[in-house]
Structure 1
Amino acid sequence: MHTDLVAALDIGGTKIAGALVDGHGRIHVRAQRPTPAQEDGESVMRAVTAVLGELAGSPLWGRADSIGIGSAGPVDASAGTVSPVNVPGWRGFPLVERVREATGGLPVELIGDGVAITAAEHWQGAARGHDNALCMVVSTGVGGGLVLGGRLHPGPTGNAGHIGHISVDLDGDPCPCGSRGCVERIASGPNIARRALDEGWLPGPDGDMSAAAVAEAARAGDPVAVASFERAAQALAAGIAATATLVEIDIAVIGGGVGKAGDVLFTPLHKSLADYATLSFVQRLTVVPAQMGTDAGLVGAAAAALARKQDATGAGV
């Protein structure tokens, strides 16, 4: 890839991170601000502008010729707008236009955060070398993205691969999205913890009621904690198998906090996958942990900006 730089923004409900990234995925300059998620839309935009301003203060800024943004969603790349569930002040907020204005007219590429992490894992991480992959983030929510035919497949609005809202339980619990029995309603961290508590799991003396605490209890053999992770693994397996059956992916990468649970999640996940991924063309599907860590959103946003630039110039990677 080119040696010039791109700017990248990773926008979530907790923090807004920015970086200048080169064509090898290396981060040269960083900036970050907390997201004022409960304030009005202009306050959130001021935090974005502050991050961009800090990056622009670097002597390297002049080498950045485009910007990639990975944002909590839903996003609408076709309209250039974002409506992050966890940032109520932004509903149909014209982020692409505002970032373009703030940077003197640089071209902007917008994708959802699940798609950004997918781009990073495909470029530098666990899905490297795979032409057809699903990458998932399993944490407070469940997001994802697809690589098909060797290229990122964000879809027209930038949300393709949003596996968290595939229904895997026809008569399941209502999901806040309006559907029922969604993967997210069963497999997200808060839902793993909620189910364990409902079934009688008791937190330790520290009072930690998170999915990480449930994972620790499961490792120690607590049957209720084990069962909650098995149920999450089953939901993930059904969603992954459905995706593989539709579009023939051969690897699924799982990141996010719940993905860090290790064998407590992956052992029942491999077992459940064998129950759901049964057709000949999906039997070689593998599921692996993500490798990119906390910089995945920034590196993936940069990858999207670089890909757009190559498409525009006809240059190869």
Structure 2
Amino acid sequence: MLSDLVAALDIGGTKIAGALVDGRGGMLLRTRRATPAREGAETVMGAVEAVLAELAASPLWPRVGAVGIGSAGPVDASAGTVSPVNVPAWRNFPLVERVRRATGGLPVVLVGDGVAMTAAEHWQGAARGHDNALCMVVSTGVGGGLVLGGRLHTGPTGNAGHIGHISVDMDGDPCACGARGCVERIASGPHIAARALENGWRPGPDGDTTAVAVAAAARAGDPIATASFERAARALAAGIAATATLVEIDIAVIGGGVAGAGDVLFAPLRRSLRDYATLSFVRRLTVTPALTGADAGLLGAAAAAAPYRRGTAAEVTFTG
């Protein structure tokens, strides 16, 4: 039977989503469970198995040739393990082997969530048609991935392109990763909000102190909120320009909750990029919002796994 479908899993701290995905990115079946993130390792795996069981109950399941997983990280694709920061019970958890066992020995491909988003944007989103791209998720953290020479570049452990932990301020505040002045330490949603609060910004009557509220205040002209987003934009611009200089990307795609701020983020980011991307071969670098939205994790997991479909998989290619 033709193995023209991929089972995709998107695993995060709040939800475990699954889908059967065809070669054009169509999601023929979807399911999801809440992530029991504060429970034990086997309870979390039980939720993954429940998602897989629902997919496997479909009459479409015999057409599945591989499983793709996009997971919160860190991940280690070479070992097949995951250690998501937001799932404390999973430390070096052998997710690939457990999923392989649960699916009767199907090929399983693991990538980090930033790499999954990159695969999705290159296949169906804003990076489509670009051979060299950086795609980023800017949310509670800052992650990313690379497309080089027209192919997803995951690196040996599946973490290549993790721009959030490039240091852009040598004397900056300590980051959770152990370094100082990382992009994530400045440009993630919680740090944008914390910076605004530290400098005197106060929330409205609803008491919302998230980056969404800071963005709304900046849009309304609040100078402190605006300054916090401008600082985040400079950090992102410095990281993007450094990446472009190193590997010659021509587009940077930004998704995640912070990207929802729109021009509050993108206008100062594009201005700052002109200050950092100064060499002739990076001056034409463009920055654009992501397009795949909430489906990025599932689409990217499917795209990453498509080349590994067993059986007649070699005869089938995913097309845009």
Secondary structure of 1:127 counterpart: coil
| Partner of residue 185, structure 2 | 185
Shift of 1:76: 0.5
Secondary structure of 2:69 counterpart: strand
Shift of 1:316: 5.3
Contact 1:131–1:149, Cα closer than 8 Å, also in 2: yes
Contact 1:3–1:23, Cα closer than 8 Å, also in 2: no
Letter in 2 for 1:313: A
Q: Return the alpha-carbon distance in structure 1 between the equivalents of residues 317 and 108 of structure 2.
A: 20
| Partner of residue 276, structure 1 | 276
Letter in 1 for 2:245: T
| Partner of residue 8, structure 1 | 8
Q: Return the alpha-carbon distance in structure 1 between the equivalents of residues 225 and 152 of structure 2.
A: 36
Q: Return the alpha-carbon distance in structure 2 between the equivalents of residues 157 and 270 of structure 1.
A: 31
Letter in 1 for 2:95: L
Gap regions ≥5 residues in structure 2: none
Q: Percent identity over the alignment?
A: 79
| Partner of residue 205, structure 2 | 205
Contact 1:9–1:69, Cα closer than 8 Å, also in 2: yes
Q: Return the alpha-carbon distance in structure 1 between the equivalents of residues 106 and 317 of structure 2.
A: 21
| Partner of residue 18, structure 2 | 18
Aligned 1:1-317 pairs, distance under 5 A = 4-309=4-309, 313=314, 317=318
Shift of 1:313: 2.9
Q: Return the alpha-carbon distance in structure 2 between the equivalents of residues 34 and 313 of structure 1.
A: 35
Q: Return the alpha-carbon distance in structure 2 between the equivalents of residues 190 and 41 of structure 1.
A: 27
Contact 1:131–1:148, Cα closer than 8 Å, also in 2: yes
Secondary structure of 1:136 counterpart: strand
Q: Return the alpha-carbon distance in structure 2 between the equivalents of residues 153 and 197 of structure 1.
A: 38
1:316–1:18 distance in 2 versus 1, CA, 3 Å: closer
Shift of 1:40: 1.0
Letter in 1 for 2:286: T
Letter in 2 for 1:111: V
Q: Return the alpha-carbon distance in structure 1 between the equivalents of residues 43 and 75 of structure 2.
A: 19
Contact 2:31–2:54, Cα closer than 8 Å, also in 1: yes
Q: TM-score, normalised by structure 2?
A: 0.97
Q: Return the alpha-carbon distance in structure 1 between the equivalents of residues 4 and 267 of structure 2.
A: 43
Shift of 1:177: 0.6
Q: Return the alpha-carbon distance in structure 1 between the equivalents of residues 75 and 256 of structure 2.
A: 20
Of the two structures, which has the highest relative contact order with CA contacts closer than 8 Å and spacing of 6 or more? Answer: 2
Letter in 2 for 1:191: H
> After the TM superposition, which segments of 4 or more aligned residues of structure 1 sit over 4 Å from their partners?
314-317
Shift of 1:65: 1.3
Q: Return the alpha-carbon distance in structure 2 between the equivalents of residues 253 and 3 of structure 1.
A: 31
Contact 1:18–1:32, Cα closer than 8 Å, also in 2: yes
Contact 2:66–2:308, Cα closer than 8 Å, also in 1: no
Equivalences, count? 316
Shift of 1:58: 1.0
Shift of 1:315: 5.9
Q: Deviations over 1:219-267 (max 9, x none)?
A: 0000000000000000000000000000000000000000110000001
Secondary structure of 1:143 counterpart: strand
Contact 1:3–1:22, Cα closer than 8 Å, also in 2: no
Q: TM-score, normalised by structure 1?
A: 0.98
Shift of 1:307: 2.7
Shift of 1:204: 0.1
Secondary structure of 1:282 counterpart: coil
Q: Return the alpha-carbon distance in structure 1 between the equivalents of residues 102 and 303 of structure 2.
A: 21
Q: Return the alpha-carbon distance in structure 1 between the equivalents of residues 63 and 51 of structure 2.
A: 17
**Further displaced range: 106-115 or 299-308:** 299-308
